[in-house]
Amino acid sequence: MRTEQNVTYTLKLPMGSEVVGKVTRIAGATRFFVKCNDGKERICTIPGRLRRRFWIKVNDIVLVKPWVVQSDERGDIIWRYSMMDIGKLRAKNLLTNI
């Protein structure tokens, strides 16, 4: 018999210099071209500690942390949003320029 549990979690929102983006194409094993909501397209990688945590495909919505150096060109993907999270991001107007 299965009992239902109340599972709640908070939506991971961009903080500081982080931006939301959409994966436009895959450039290799862990490199992706991401169109960010600040109007820039960045080449993003998945850090080693997160590589096996989530699989990213074209048109996925991700959270990007730009690098300190070359912040307009490169960044790290630190989160991939689920379909349910995308609806919440649209309600908060975070997917406007994507």
- Predicted local distance difference test score (pLDDT) of residue 34: 96
Q: What is the pLDDT along the chain (98 residues), one digit of tens a residue?
A: 555 566 677 889 999 999 999 999 999 888 999 999 999 999 999 988 888 888 899 999 999 999 999 989 999 999 999 998 999 999 988 888 77
- Predicted local distance difference test score (pLDDT) of residue 3: 57
Let me know: does 64 contact 42? Beta carbons within 8 Å. yes
Query: How far out from the chain centre does Cα 4 lie?
Result: 30
State the number of CA atoms in the 13 A half-sphere of 20 facing the CB. Answer: 20
For the chain, the distance separating the N- and C-terminal CA atoms, rounded to the nearest angstrom, is: 44
87: alpha, beta or left, given left = phi > 0 and alpha = psi -120 to 50?
Answer: alpha
- Predicted local distance difference test score (pLDDT) of residue 19: 94
Domains along the sequence of the chain with CATH: 19-89 (2.40.50.140)
